[in-house]
Structure 1
Amino acid sequence: MAGDAKKLQPIIIKKIKKGGHGAHGGAWKIAYADFVTAMMAFFLLMWLLGSTTEGDKKGIADYFSSPLKVALSGGSGSGDSSHVIKGGGQDLTRQTGQVKAGDVEAPRHTINLRALKEEQRRAERSRLQQLKDKIQEVLANTPALASLGGQIRLEMTREGLRIQIVDENNRPMFDSGSAVVKPYMRELLRELGAVLAEVPNRLTLEGHTDAQPFSGGERGYSNWELSADRANASRRELLSGGLPESRVLRVQGLAASKLLEPDEPRSPINRRISIIVMNRDAEDAVLKNLPDNEDEPADNSATAAEKP
């Protein structure tokens, strides 16, 4: 009976469930990847610092301290090297910077301003001398002006080329006390205007008289007004000959203040029109209101135009 009860005893099966760990996300992988990347960057930095020269290190430090200054001016810290040839190039003459293969340094040119200005002055003197020769040629080859050759005086001065048309007793430029140009002088001035139009220099026109005073005295219409009127009348004739109006810089009347023959103040030679083809220095002096240069001849070439 007991055996039957033992046989009938139920079999109990116990199932034990072991608790598992909670599910993990992928955040640790990102953190690990960042760590590995940072370590790789760190070791690359250590390798670069170990292989970089002191000059390059200083150049990098200077750049980050004042990048604009280094970029504009360069210097020994910008691309320097501890190599026996600074800059790591092949050219022993280079002290700074690095030159890639195939790069060619442009030659350096130094401009001597004083020598350049002197060269310009020589070229201008040569041009004015050619103008002087051209005027003499025109006078010699123009029959109507051949008889006036003795009244034309050409001279090189510090201001430029001075062209003076002087009076003669039997052939004056103007009637006494008048500012009306004589017909033969009108033709001469127009020929000069055509020649002067060929050069770029600007002009000064001066009217001169002798010391003979007007009967009305100096307080009325005097030699000052007469000389200015004659200079302006000459200007109009030059313009009629083709001279551009912009080329005339000054027109002035000097009366008898600058006599050609001081010992004979009433000599007809003192009555004259001066046309000054100014050089650059004289023109700058006028435009900047600086004192004019002296009228002394620059050389001994102050000769009258020869008659044919």
Structure 2
Amino acid sequence: MATTTETLDAPTTTARPAAPGKVRGHRTRRSAGDWVILALAVLFGLVIAVPFLMILVNSFKSPADYNASGPLSLPTSLYTDGLVAFWERVNFPEKLWNSFFISGMVAVLAVALSVLNAFALGIGRVKGRTWIVVLILLANMLPQEVLLYPLYFMFKEVGLYDNVWSVIIIFTVIQSAFGTYLLASVFGTFPKELLEAASLDGASRRTILWRVVYPISRPTLAVLLIFFFIWTWNEFLIPLTFLVSNATQTVPVAITVLQGDRLMDVTTTSASALLGLIPTLIFFLIFQRTLTRGITAGAVK
């Protein structure tokens, strides 16, 4: 009995299985396929980085050094005359401000217009919404060459030719067409219970848009804002057609026009490409975390 009593009085402990992720010394082993995918990703990244590295190397190389050693060798000395020459020839701060102003205005206006259109199509449930979305998508697929003459004639008539606002209006409509198509699909998946609860609480459609829909879709809107800015910055054909004076030109147009009017050496051309690339690279690095969060939030939802 004593033995039995001692056995009953002794504390009992139950062994718990350790969590798989907390096992000491446990390491996830990569398979051969994982290493192949990793090697291909690294190789693909290097291929993408090669043009940028060549531009960077040749921007600080003198013409004599380039002619003697070619484009693949490192510069023997730091040569900055190409950067200075391009900066002074095109009045680069003016072109930089034009590109920043046009891209920023287009990004903000296109996102705002996309939100309003998508709210009417995705949540307002207007009649014929499917056909409207299809029409917007088809209009967005038209090549820019088809739009040049009618847009040129229209802005000539209203007095906005060779004005930055002509390009802002054009790209706001073009970018908002894509944004409307994307956001209409996103807004169409909003839970009806949430919207109905807001309506029962006395919220108007404007209140529902700014107090319910906008906070939830903010990550997606941030991604659209970044994409619209970068896409507009890199546009060339329409700014080349509608911004003919030197004071209204953007960075891509200034680079091309200078190469056509005045013969530049390869190093100065590389310097111009580097100066045109740096602003978008800085913008992307600043908003990289916002872009990653927006894409991740959309994937989780």
Q: Tell me if TM exceeds 0.5.
A: no
- TM-score normalised per structure 2: 0.23
Q: 1 or 2, which has the higher helix percentage?
A: 2
Compute the TM-score of the two structures, normalised by the length of structure 1. Answer: 0.23
Tell which has more relative contact order, 1 or 2 (C-alpha 8 A, sep 6+).
Answer: 2
